[in-house]
């Protein structure tokens, strides 16, 4: 049985841990609110950009269909054969202590690598956790074409431009058949949803399939030049949204993990305090019993 000194030492240690986890929870909550405001602020621009690209995409596909030439499509719209190398953008966190946030992403990334095991994989990774894991990973024909770390929780559009440039270079220069992105999407404080979707080539948008349904645009410069300039910005805006979503999801996961850790520490501290009191009461009772027995022996 542990001594009273050992139990008191454990209580002090658990109490210190509880204070740390509570502080980390409060910091994560404050940062998460800022991240939510960032997502809300970026949303109007993203919506307008997506609507414009959707309309231009429909016009581009209509022109290609009318000329019966699939190669008329912009390279970002062209479907490539699956025999070539594949591309992956994996977005993880820079730090741990956020529950299963990183492990779920890495597990899904390994599943993607296994599904493309017969082909070379070009991977761009965001976050120290994903970068460190991929550096240790063996058994796959994989090339890390880009590593971005230390940007959370202060993501800005400059980071999205750097990651976007790496993804575009991967697609245009490495000639990958497609680029898949894996990240955690922020749904609510309690829910973060793992998302995996094809970033490139850009899939056909739902709706606005017929040019007659589109807004009547006047182009200056002409449509191909505008599309050439707009699509890279659209992809970087998409990546910026992904980084903001991942940042908010990470902070929410850390807040929940630290809240659970604080509750567990409190329960352990209360259990140790109860054990301390019981052991101390047992010692006092034993001493009283010894005194009573001694007094009775002297009286006899």
DSSP assignment string, 152-199: TT---HHHHHHHHHHHHHHHHTS--S-EEEEEEEE-SSS-EEEEEEEE
Q: Is 57 a catalytic residue?
A: no
Domain 26-256, what architecture?
3-Layer(aba) Sandwich (3.40)
pLDDT of residue 15: 93
pLDDT of residue 69: 55
Q: Which member of 98, 155, 182, 252 is catalytic?
A: 98
pLDDT of residue 24: 94
Provide CB contacts within 8 A for 238, sequence distance 6+: 46, 199
DSSP 8-state symbol, 211? G
Q: What angle do CA 100, 105, 109 make, to 5 degrees?
A: 145
Q: What angle do CA 245, 249, 255 make, to 5 degrees?
A: 150
pLDDT of residue 68: 55
CATH (one of 1.10.287.80, 1.10.8.60, 3.30.70.3280, 2.60.120.650) for 4-23+258-299 = 1.10.287.80
DSSP 8-state symbol, 202? P
Q: Which residues of 139-177 are buried (b: 16+ CB within 10 A; e: fewer)?
A: eeebeebbbbeebbbebeeebbebbbebbbebbeebebb
Locate the domains of the chain by residue range: 4-23+258-299, 26-256
pLDDT of residue 210: 53
Q: What is the pLDDT along the chain (300 residues), one digit of tens a residue?
A: 678 888 899 999 999 999 999 999 999 999 998 888 888 888 788 878 877 787 777 777 776 666 655 556 778 888 888 888 999 999 999 999 999 999 999 999 999 999 998 899 999 999 999 999 999 999 899 999 999 999 998 999 999 999 999 999 999 998 899 999 999 999 888 889 999 999 998 877 665 455 545 556 677 777 778 888 888 999 999 999 999 999 999 999 999 999 999 999 999 999 999 998 998 898 888 888 888 888 877 776
Provide CB contacts within 8 A for 127, sequence distance 6+: 90, 91, 92, 93, 94, 102, 148, 149, 152
Count CB atoms within 10 A of the CB of residue 105: 24
Instruction: Answer positive or negative: Cα dihedral of 192, 194, 200, 203.
Output: negative
User: Among residues 190, 262, 150, 163, which one has the least CA distance to residue 32?
Assistant: 190
User: Identical fold at 4-23+258-299 and 26-256?
Assistant: no
- Write out the two tokens for 211: 């040019």
Give the three-state DSSP class for 4: helix
- Measured CA distances, 64 to 17, 71, 199, 216, 218 (Å): 63, 8, 21, 19, 20
What's the residue count for the chain?
A: 300
Provide CB contacts within 8 A for 81, sequence distance 6+: 177
pLDDT of residue 171: 93
């Amino acid at each position: 049985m542990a001594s009273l000194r050992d139990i008191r030492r454990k209580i002090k240690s658990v109490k210190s841990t509880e204070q740390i986890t509570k502080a980390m929870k409060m910091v994560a909550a404050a940062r998460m609110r800022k991240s939510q405001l960032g997502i809300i602020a970026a949303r109007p621009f993203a919506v307008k950009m997506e609507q414009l690209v959707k309309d231009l995409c429909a016009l581009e596909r209509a022109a290609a269909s009318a000329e019966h030439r699939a190669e008329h499509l912009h390279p970002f719209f062209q479907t490539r054969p699956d025999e070539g190398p594949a591309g992956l953008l994996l977005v993880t966190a820079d730090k741990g202590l956020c529950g299963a946030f990183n492990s779920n992403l890495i597990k899904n990334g390994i599943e993607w690598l296994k599904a493309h095991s017969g082909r070379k994989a070009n991977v761009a990774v965001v976050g120290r956790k994903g970068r460190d894991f991929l550096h240790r990973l063996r058994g796959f024909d994989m090339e890390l074409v880009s590593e971005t770390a230390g940007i959370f929780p202060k993501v800005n559009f400059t980071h999205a431009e750097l990651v976007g440039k790496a993804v575009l270079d991967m697609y245009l220069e490495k000639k990958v058949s497609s680029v898949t992105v894996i990240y955690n999407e922020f749904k609510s404080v309690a829910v973060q949803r793992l998302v995996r979707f094809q970033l490139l080539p850009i899939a056909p948008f739902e709706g606005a399939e017929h040019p007659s349904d589109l807004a009547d645009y006047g182009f200056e410069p002409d449509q191909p030049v505008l599309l050439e300039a707009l699509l890279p910005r659209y992809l970087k805006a998409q990546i910026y949204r992904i980084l903001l979503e991942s940042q908010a999801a990470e902070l929410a996961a850390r807040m929940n993990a630290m809240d659970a850790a604080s509750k567990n520490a409190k329960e352990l501290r209360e259990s140790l305090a109860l054990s301390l009191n019981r052991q101390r009461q047992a010692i006092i009772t034993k001493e009283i019993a010894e005194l009573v027995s001694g007094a009775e022996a002297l009286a006899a």
